[in-house]
Chains A and B, each alone.
Chain A
């Protein structure tokens, strides 16, 4: 079973915003709603500047799904997190819950009116007939139903943004890490949680986090 994921290789991301406009182009998202953004950290700082493209991460245990008062979220078999706009009440709790700021609302009006939540769909459309006009107007393009992958990942200028089956992404990224000779410490459990990378290892000691292997990322 394919498990769809995104990975943005920060060594290659140059903040060209190709992913951003590819998404806008493909899904005809209105002004003010940005399903995908590129963030540059440490702008101008020699040796520390990194850019990374962020959109909905289609979490396995999605906080947006957990908090939604009307349960309009669902996950497809491929792991794509989608929602039903007909049910959405625009309360904005998913926006509070998401650590990536993925839920977007089309308009800020009087009394905090938000409109229906919109977010990256992994170019998988939504709960309308696949590849229909209705689905396009509500949710954007359904590229998965055409046998394609999200427009942002396919059009990335340096192939920094990888989108598709997680195993294949891992293969691609692994090859790059091997060629660079470094970067393995950037992602993974040991970086996120301080756990040792070996399987069957002991739970973490409370003194210090695992030292990063290799040089600067």
Chain B
């Protein structure tokens, strides 16, 4: 229609209608017509979406019938929430039955009396601004709003994403906390077992130390007794040896005396034999004591008394030798018995000394073992001191571990609170964003419709 000419803009500024400047309707005034008759839907009477610009002749001569474009427009308005769905069926009936607007008055709710068409662009006239400039600004406003929309959507999406990942992170951290708490429990149990074991080894060490004392005392007693036995039996052996020497000497002396007595006895027996032989010879000997008458020498036996005395003397001597030999043999018997007793004593003492030596060796070994045992128990005691130190470090570490896990739990509780606050804020954000987006969509649509209407005012007429 090309209404935004200099003349028309001047008319519009004072509230007058524009004049069509080109086309078949050139020279006619432009009027505003309702696409959906306001008699059908009074609520759309002042809605820009329902307005269209038509030449005056077209407006005045148009059919009063309800046509399909009207039904389509009603459906669009219903879809965009401008009117209620209840308006569709009555309009559809009117369109299907080719009824007129007048006949519809009786069937549509909210019907008001028909108003005269609004003066063209009366709304724009008050500002006295070039509508093309306004159309341009409206378009730019819509563009900017549509630039903002994906940006705002993206921010909200990021908010949701960040919230979700932070929540997942918090959940994972919570799992770690449970893991750490479980480890604290396990480590506490281990520490308790360790302390009990430390106490057990302490008690065992104490008992073993007492045992060590008793063992050492027993070993010392055994050593003392063995040493005394050794000394005693070595002394006894010495005495036995001395005794044996004396006994052997006595036996030798006795044996020599027996030999001497036997020699003496032999000599006495020989002397007696010679004396008896001489006596016998003497008894057969005679001596001349005179002459008998015949001149024969008178002979008489010689005196044998000296020979007899010598025999008697030899016999006496023999008897003495026999007595001496008997005495010597007795002595030899006694001396031999003593020597044998002494030898037996020496043998028994030698055996006793040997046994005592073995006892002393066993006692010494016992003492050595006792000392080794005591050294081992002392080393265990020193190790127990080290173990006590380690257990103390374990206890300290456990305390630090518990403290760390406690602090971790506090941080997670605080984090959970912040996460909950953030979630609440996100819900608020989503609610406001949905509302803003609803308003922006509706607003852009509305502005766009109005902008189209305003633009249509200046377009070539291609229909009517």
A binds B: no
Chain B residues within CB distance 8 Å of chain A? none
